[in-house]
Amino acid sequence: MEVDAFRRLFPLRFHERHLLESVRPDARPLGKARDTSLALGAVGSADGSALAKIGCTTMLAAIKMEVMTPANETPDEGCIAIEFHMPAICSPIVRPGRPAEAAPVVSKQLSDTILSSGMIDLKELSLVSGKAAWMAYLDIYCLDADGALFDAALLAAAAAFSHLQIPVVSLNDEGRIVVVSKGEKLKNKPVNEEKRKLKLRSIPFALTCIIHKNYILADPTAEEESIMETLITIVLDSSCQLVSLYKPGGPALAYESIIQDCIALSRQRLRELQTILNEAMCDMEVD
């Protein structure tokens, strides 16, 4: 039987034959992630943006800043709104006109991770206490869904916030704070003199692994995820502290030894992603 036919008819057996040799169909070792790239400033009209690729999985993240009135409970804090989009072009299983089931799940994961990691101090988004603060709208578009969607989306989000430049704002004649357009003459003194970067503290990075029998596969493709259904996602911050551990069911049990092995792989991946992000930021400064 031809290899492609065998792969389609008996996908699990096909992958298990590779696992016996400690290699995967794409020639990767079991614990190795796919090639990863980052490009900052991918959307010129956004205040911050990034294009992240992990293998074929591709995410475009863009941030738009708007002035809002802060909540009474948090007068000195801004807000972040995160939305994850999966258009029909990203995967054959996403139907036009129907929302993808994974989209709200990934949106919630991203919100929980970014806020709980302490990456962004919401007080930095305050403009005038009790009167004005920044609302950061982060939209992430999945352009190609080939596995490990959350990992790529979180990387794109972190890169977009690293690239973010907070706009200049001023008081208008009515006493309201408004964003100053480029080249616009100011009648009043600006609230912030120039665009500024957002100070990021502990940036979170994620690694998703598949658990199948006694094997752990790092950074799975969509095909691997559909065949071997037990996933575990580890999120570590830039100081290697555990932010979250997510296991959405699956037949395999996550024993302590397996979790420790996944965390060890996540630490290796963390160093790789930090280097990739730092290089992307350096390239942006040179440009």
Domain annotation for the chain: domains and CATH numbers:
31-285 (3.30.230.70)
Q: What is the pLDDT of residues 23-46, one digit of tens each?
A: 999 999 999 999 999 999 999 999
Query: CB under 8 Å to 209, separation ≥6 — which residues?
Result: 216, 217, 218, 219, 220, 231, 232, 233, 234, 262, 265
Taking the alpha carbons of 37, 159, 101, 96 in that order, is the dihedral positive or negative? negative
The predicted model scores a pTM of: 0.91
Alpha helices in the chain (DSSP H): 3-9, 11-20, 102-117, 149-163, 222-227, 256-286
Q: Residue 176 CA to chain centroid, in angstroms? A: 34
| 287 residues of the chain, pLDDT tens digit each | 688 888 888 998 999 999 999 999 999 999 999 999 999 999 999 999 999 999 999 999 999 999 899 999 999 999 999 999 999 999 998 988 888 889 999 999 999 999 999 999 999 999 888 888 999 999 999 999 999 999 999 999 999 999 999 888 776 655 567 676 665 555 555 555 567 888 998 999 999 999 998 899 999 999 999 998 789 999 999 999 999 999 887 777 778 899 999 999 999 999 999 999 999 998 876 55
Residues forming beta bridges with residue 137, ordered by sequence position: 64, 81
